[in-house]
Amino acid sequence: TQLLEQSPQFLSIQEGENLTVYCNSSSVFSSLQWYRQEPGEGPVLLVTVVTGGEVKKLKRLTFQFGDARKDSSLHITAAQTGDTGLYLCAGVPSNSGYALNFGKGTSLLVTP
């Protein structure tokens, strides 16, 4: 059973477009993290959201944590080819220890 469901699974857009990817769960999470993974490399942490309703901005990326701490979204404004990669959300369920659970990811391709 996948604790974190990400959608869409694949996304192909052109440079300059906006996009949103979603990370949903029926479980409550203590915090959620977003990572980006490029081919041949390990995931790299983008942001951690901790408080329900929290919004964090990282340049053109906006991350939101749901009020109930069960979901999160990542919005990219004016996508660039350098944004191409696999976006993963990960969280520690409130009723567990330190095991970070990952969603299957959204594979984003940004073309010129």
- Does 45 contact another protein by CB under 8 A? yes
d(CA 49, CA 104): 19
Residue closer to another protein by CB (options 2, 18) is: 2
Question: Which residues in 6-35 contact another protein (CB under 8 A)?
Answer: 30-31, 33, 35
CB of 45 to another protein, least distance (A): 4
- Does 105 contact another protein by CB under 8 A? yes
- Does 97 contact another protein by CB under 8 A? yes
CB of 60 to another protein, least distance (A): 21
Report the interface residues with another protein, using CB under 8 A.
Answer: 2, 30-31, 33, 35, 40-45, 48, 50, 88, 90, 92, 97-105
